[in-house]
Amino acid sequence: MESIFTTNISIGNKSASYHVYFDHEKYIFMPEPPEEGLPTFSIKREHDEWHDQDPIDPDLKDQAVEALEGYLLKQH
């Protein structure tokens, strides 16, 4: 699993720090530090579309996709 970046994501009324890893064609978001109640989830890009690999809130997915796209744009 390759560690790629850390980002903050709003969940409910608080901000949570997530570390993002890349493994087996998926971007895995893990709360950092691990915190009860905060989900670990993954997103995969296929055919120019982002697909959540775990059932997650649409707002959470939107924030994760925004963070990923920002990271990927900086890499080019």
State mean pLDDT over 43-56.
92
List the chain domain ranges. 2-74
The reported pLDDT for the residue numbered 11 is 86
**Tokens encoding 46:** 């296929």
The reported pLDDT for the residue numbered 25 is 94
* pLDDT score of 59 more than 90: yes
Residue range 6-30, pLDDT digits in tens: 999 998 888 999 999 999 999 999 9
pTM of structure = 0.91
Q: Which residues pair with 15 in a beta bridge?
A: 10
